[in-house]
Amino acid sequence: MNAFHRWYCNSGRWAAQLQGTVMPSVLRGVDLGDDVLEIGPGPGRSTDWLRSRVARVTSVEIDARLARALRQRLAGANVTGVEADASAMPLPDAAFSSALSFTMLHHVPYASQDRLFAEVARVLRPGGVFAGMDSTPNLLWNLYHLFDDRNPVDPATLAARLEAAGLADVQVRSAARGFSFRARKP
């Protein structure tokens, strides 16, 4: 991510929006269970919200610096930080009650996105939910992402991609600047 994007994702303004509006809306009615997998937490603003609501959070972050900072900041908490590529997670099968992803899928290379979805299906317990949200490109989004890796997910094709990965009961809801999704492991 570019310097501005890193700063914004760690800002109090983003934390307030994410924790006060985005996450409660996306996760309304979702049973997270006791063992949550968080994919791409970045600086951990979503992790902070999750860790007070579930017994255990495992956060998989590909960026070594961000993963290390998250582990140090939350040492002794109910959070395990794992530095790994979410499209090839070093995690056991059927280990998690839910998996979550907030505003990070567009940073995953197109070639790895479907592998990430298959990995989520692999590590979810039967009945486990994969939920999250991401943004869709517009002028402001493009400015925020200058010089970033940006591979936007098309919400119109997401349901079929999640089903192909082995998930079911897929719901994708588009909004003005993005989309949310839910799917379940059969």
CA distance 70 to 170: 31
Residue by residue, pLDDT tens for the chain (186 residues) are 667 666 666 667 877 787 788 889 999 999 999 999 999 998 998 999 999 999 999 999 999 999 999 999 999 999 999 999 999 999 999 999 999 999 889 889 889 999 999 999 999 999 999 999 998 866 666 566 666 777 889 999 999 999 999 999 999 999 888 999 999 999
At residue 106, the pLDDT reads 80
What pLDDT is stored for residue 101 in this prediction? 96
Q: Are 108 and 86 in contact (CB under 8 A)?
A: yes
For residue 152, what are the CA distances in angstroms to 13, 47, 106, 147, 148? Answer: 23, 23, 4, 14, 12
pLDDT value at position 77?
96
Tokens 């997910």 sit at which residue? 153
Please name each of the domains of the chain with its CATH number: 3-184 (3.40.50.150)
Who contacts 158 (Cβ-Cβ below 8 Å, separation ≥6)? 170, 172, 179, 181
Work out the end-to-end distance of the chain between its first and last CA atoms, rounded to an integer number of angstroms. Answer: 35
Distance CA(108)–CA(99), nearest Å, equals 16
Residue 72 Cα to chain centre, angstroms:
20
